[in-house]
């Protein structure tokens, strides 16, 4: 097998893994009404079909990153994909609420272990510079494609086969990637002499993250300062503070805080947070608009996301050109600016309009999404020791997960403050709901503006620094 074909298949395996993780994020939204009715979920319990996945994914990311560095990125990729496939299989066969929620948790755990390993494998299987940037462009574009495709595929599978098919569709993909991985992916891991497992740090950060993520999930439902939620954030914060103290004394820390002296990693984590708080909430509110305002079916709603998918593909092809012309900071700032313009265009959506009104805004957002999502991971890997690539990608992914949860929570809190005491998004008239969706898009546009400022202030480097950093020279020079 020649090296080009080897790398092509390697990229296919890594891109497909990103595709099914993104697809799984949105495919479940369309299936939830059907599975909720069949398994007898109450409205409050049904949210845990989504929340179980988010909780496990957000809680186990850092340990997933460290394990991939220690055990080997390819080995962890295969274990994680097998877990993801097992969770999907259990979900398809679930006959009770508890079994389905457990299955979603297993899928989330698989995703938490899979995501850092996948990104680290791109770093180790593709050369620095244009080859790696191109690979990351393809990998990242699969995220946007998967989210859009999930809404369409979820509608088709649920309508014509049943909600179970939205789980079963992952199983053959998982099996195929596990079988291909040892053939096409090169293994990479930390040298044996550097392996130390930080048990106290692992327990404190995982438990702390689980409690914080649980608080973010549950507070919009139960209240931010109630007795049923406040203990979780206080305990979680205490555990995370304990984690910081433990890491400073550990001989083999889970994460070395000196990593955050790297402005690119710190900036990338902040950008990931802001990206998810803005671009990441689009799917929720645009689905509300198409299904609850325009009264589209799930399949029709899914089709309205196709222009976004196509523009994300195009944006991925522009990555190398953008990096050569504007560098990392400029590319992210441009992507955030495009997102802001797109969100402002979406504030013009009419309650009596149609899908054509969505297209201009989503095309611009798709281009911006590709530029930001791909480049923030390129930035986060710049200047990071090869032995810490898994942890660095986990840090960025954690920023992304927390950003999505907090972004949606803040927007919902702003909308709740502007609504009457008894009003909810589900019970509002189409025109009132349309107005609230406009407010949401204004908030996301403001978040993209903050993203522009952060990218230029934190990621921007002086000429002297750029000249001293080989990776920066490759990316920023022409």
pLDDT of residue 110: 94
Q: What is the pLDDT of residue 420?
A: 59
Query: For residue 194, what pLDDT band results from cuts at 50, 70 and 90?
Result: low
pLDDT at 329: 93
* pLDDT computed for residue 368 by the predictor: 94
Fold for domain 1-184?
Growth Hormone; Chain: A; (1.20.1250)
Query: For position 341, what pLDDT does the model report?
Result: 97
Identical fold for domains 1-184 and 259-478, yes or no, is yes
DSSP state of 419: S
Q: 221-257 pLDDT, tens per residue?
A: 777 888 888 999 999 999 999 998 998 888 777 777 8
Mean pLDDT calculated for residue range 182-209: 77
CATH domain 259-478 topology? Growth Hormone; Chain: A; (1.20.1250)
Q: Mean pLDDT over all residues of the chain?
A: 84
| Per-residue confidence (pLDDT) for residue 58, from 0 to 100 | 80
Mean pLDDT on 102-118: 92
Average pLDDT of 329-338? 96
The pLDDT tens digits of the residues spanning 299-316 come to 888 788 889 888 888 888
Q: What is the pLDDT of residues 133-187, one digit of tens each?
A: 888 878 877 876 787 788 788 888 888 898 899 999 999 999 999 999 999 888 8
pLDDT at 412 over 70: yes
Question: DSSP code of 290?
Answer: I
**Would you give the DSSP letter of residue 129?**
T
d(CA 257, CA 282) in angstroms, rounded, equals: 33
Domain edges within the chain? 1-184, 198-251, 259-478
Place of tokens 């220690």: 70
For residue 172, CA distances in Å to 49, 165, 179, 194, 399 come to 22, 12, 11, 37, 31
Q: Quickly list H helices, 161-281.
A: 165-168, 170-184, 199-222, 230-249, 263-278
The pLDDT of 380-392, averaged and rounded, is: 77
Q: What is d(CA 395, CA 372) in angstroms, rounded to the nearest whole number? A: 16
- Percent of the chain surpassing pLDDT 90: 32
């Amino acid at each position: 097998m020649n090296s080009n074909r080897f790398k092509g298949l390697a990229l296919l395996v890594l891109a497909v893994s990103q595709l099914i993780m993104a697809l799984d994020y949105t495919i479940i939204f369309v299936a939830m009404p059907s599975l909720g009715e069949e398994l007898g979920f109450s409205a409050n319990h049904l949210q845990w079909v989504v929340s179980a996945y988010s909780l496990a994914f957000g809680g186990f990311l850092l340990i997933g990153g460290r394990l991939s560095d220690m055990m080997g990125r390819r080995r962890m990729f295969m274990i994680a994909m097998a877990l993801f496939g097992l969770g999907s299989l259990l979900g398809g066969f679930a006959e009770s609420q508890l079994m389905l929620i457990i299955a979603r948790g297993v899928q989330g755990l698989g995703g938490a272990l899979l995501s850092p390993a996948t990104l680290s494998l791109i770093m180790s299987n593709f050369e620095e510079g244009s080859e790696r940037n191109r690979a990351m462009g393809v990998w990242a574009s699969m995220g946007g494609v998967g989210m859009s495709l999930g809404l369409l595929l979820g509608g088709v599978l649920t309508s014509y086969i049943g909600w179970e098919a939205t789980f079963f569709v992952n199983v053959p993909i998982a099996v195929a990637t596990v079988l291909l991985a040892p053939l096409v992916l090169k293994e990479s891991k930390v040298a044996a002499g550097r392996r130390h497992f930080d048990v106290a740090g692992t327990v404190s950060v995982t438990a702390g993250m689980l409690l914080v993520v649980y608080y973010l999930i549950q507070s919009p439902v139960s209240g931010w300062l109630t007795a049923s939620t406040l203990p979780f954030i206080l305990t979680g914060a205490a555990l995370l503070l304990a984690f910081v103290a433990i890491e400073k004394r550990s001989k083999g820390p889970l994460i070395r805080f000196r990593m955050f002296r790297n402005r690119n990693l710190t900036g990338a984590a902040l950008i990931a947070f802001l990206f998810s708080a803005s671009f990441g909430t689009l799917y929720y509110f645009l689905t509300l608009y198409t299904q609850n305002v325009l009264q589209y079916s799930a399949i029709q709603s899914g089709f309205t996301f196709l222009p976004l998918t196509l523009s994300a593909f195009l944006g991925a092809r522009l990555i190398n050109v953008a990096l050569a012309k504007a560098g990392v900071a400029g590319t992210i700032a441009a992507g955030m600016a495009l997102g802001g313009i797109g969100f402002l265009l979406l504030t013009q959506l009419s309650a009596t309009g149609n899908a054509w009104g969505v297209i201009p805004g989503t095309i611009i957002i798709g281009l911006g999404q590709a530029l930001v999502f791909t480049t923030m991971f390129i930035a986060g890997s710049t200047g990071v020791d090869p032995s810490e690539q898994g942890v660095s990608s986990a840090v960025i992914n954690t920023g992304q997960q927390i950003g999505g949860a907090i972004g949606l929570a803040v927007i919902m809190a702003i909308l709740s403050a502007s609504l009457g005491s008894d009003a909810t998004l589900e019970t509002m008239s189409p025109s009132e709901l349309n107005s609230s969706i406009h407010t949401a898009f204004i908030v996301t546009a403001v978040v993209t503006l903050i993203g522009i400022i952060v990218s230029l202030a934190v990621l921007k480097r002086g000429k002297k620094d750029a000249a001293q950093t080989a990776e920066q020279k490759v990316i920023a020079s022409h």
